[in-house]
Structure formats: C-alpha cells, structure tokens
Amino acid sequence: MAADIDQLKKLVALAETHQAKLAKALIELEKNIATIMASAPLKDGRLFDLQWAIQARVVLRQAIEKDYLVAIDKIIREYKGVAANALSMLSQYTEFAKLDPAVIRQLQSLSFKGFEDIGQQYLDVISKEVYNNTLTGVSFAESVAVIKATIDTGLKKYASQGLHDSLMQFDATINTKMAIDAGAKTFKYQGPDDSATRPFCEKHVGKVYTKEEIEEIWNSDTWAGKISGNPFVVRGGYNCRHRFRGQF
C-alpha cells in the first residue's frame, strides 16, 4: 500500500479512537455533575437555595476541567505524533519535507482553545439553567433531566464533531504546509470513496489540481456540510476524511 494512503487510513482510525476517549470522559463528567446536583438543598423536591446555585458554577467548572479538558489535552498532545507520521510519509516522496516544531505547538494550542471555548459555553448554559431553576423553584428531577440532555445535545454533539475535524484539519494543514515548502505545484485529493463519501468529495477523489484550480472550485461550488475557509484545511467540510497531498 502506498505510504500516503496507509498514513491517511491510520489517521482516520485515530480519529475514531479519539472519539471513544472523549465519549468515556463525558460519561465520567455526567456522573460527576449528577453528584454535584445531588448535593443541592431541596425543599419539597425543588431547588430553592440561590447561594448554592451561585457557588455550584465553581464546582461545575472544576468538573468540566477535570473530566473534559484533561481528556482533550491528552488527545491533542497526540498531534505531535501525527505530525511526525506526516513528515515521515512525505519524506518518502521528497527530500525537502520539513516542519517547524513551533508550528505544531501553535496548531495544538489553537485546537485546544477551540475545545476550551466549547466547554465554557456548556458551563454558561448549565450554570444559567441551575440558577434559573433555583430561582423559579423547578423540581430537582426536571433540572437533572434538562442538564443531562444538554450534555447529549450540546457538549457531546459539538465536541465530538469538533474532535474529528480538529485532527483532520491539523493533518491537512501540516501536509499542505510541508508540500508547499517542498515546492509542490499540484495537489491530489485523497481519501475514501465509499457510501459515507459526500457527492462533492466523490467527484474530486483521485484528481490532481493546481492551487489556483482548487481555490476556484472550492470557492465557487456549494454542497451540504461545506465549511467556509481555506479549502486545503476545510476540504469537504464537516466530518471530512479527505485531504490534499502535494505531488512531487
């Protein structure tokens, strides 16, 4: 199997492993939030203590940092190995492949910041939920149900999607950077061509384009799941498993 295809398959498999790690972390977070909520003072089965509701935000933040952000940090630290694998792969096609470690660190930092923002948004939502429910005397059971649903439809949904895209965009960015620095003038669109492949990606898989052609195609076309931005980074959009590989 060609080195570039083999490396891409391993990358997609790694994305699935990261999803499993995140899912495990979110299960722990849900348990810890349930424990926090169980400590709430109740009156006739309803929340009522506003002081507790205000202080709960601090404890909730600690739980999010401990369960969610620590897991994210460990995952993003693995990006260094992804970069090393990409460099090793491209070195088989050109002797000029190189990558500045400072670039890797900056991309890791930016990736982590994105997940930190998601965690902060979730903290804001559930803290407000707890306070409002306490203020209006909502039942404990109803409050817990709403918060659990928020994990599933909010944090889990956006963090899971973001985790896949973060890894694939990291790989796409460093591959493009190394290819351009090494003198590539054309790029091949690589990746799966299966039942999960978007029609847009299916149309371009295996084809070779210049940088100018890629920019023209990606900027002029529209499709479901498209993300605005640099086509070399966003590629086919959300959950895309494809990338551009420089031709030498």
With cut-offs at 50, 70 and 90, classify the pLDDT of residue 1: low
pLDDT at 22: 97
Which string of b and e fits 14-36 if b means at least 16 CB within 10 Å? bbeebbeebeebbeebbebbeeb
What pLDDT, in 10s, does the model give residues 156-165?
989 999 999 9
What is the rounded average pLDDT for all residues in the chain?
95
What's the rounded mean pLDDT across residues 161-181?
Answer: 96
The arrangement of strands across the sheet holding 243-247 comes to: 208-210, 186-190, 243-247
Q: How far apart are CA 115 and CA 120, in angstroms?
A: 9
What's the rounded mean pLDDT across residues 218-228?
Answer: 95
Judged by average pLDDT, the poorest of 27-31, 86-90, 102-106, 144-148 is 144-148
With cut-offs at 50, 70 and 90, classify the pLDDT of residue 71: very high
Q: Where are the domains positioned within the chain? A: 3-183, 185-248
Is the per-residue pLDDT at 170 higher than 80? yes
Q: How far apart are CA 52 and CA 130, in angstroms?
A: 10
Tell me which amino acid residue 211 is: K
pLDDT at 150: 85
Portion of the chain with pLDDT greater than 90, in percent: 93
What's the rounded mean pLDDT across residues 75-100?
Answer: 96
Q: Is 188 exposed, middle or buried (0-12, 13-18, 19+ CB in 10 A)?
A: middle
What pLDDT, in 10s, does the model give residues 33-61?
999 999 999 999 999 999 999 999 999 99
Q: How far apart are CA 175 and CA 46, in angstroms?
A: 55
Opening angle at CA 29, ends 23 and 31, nearest 5? 110
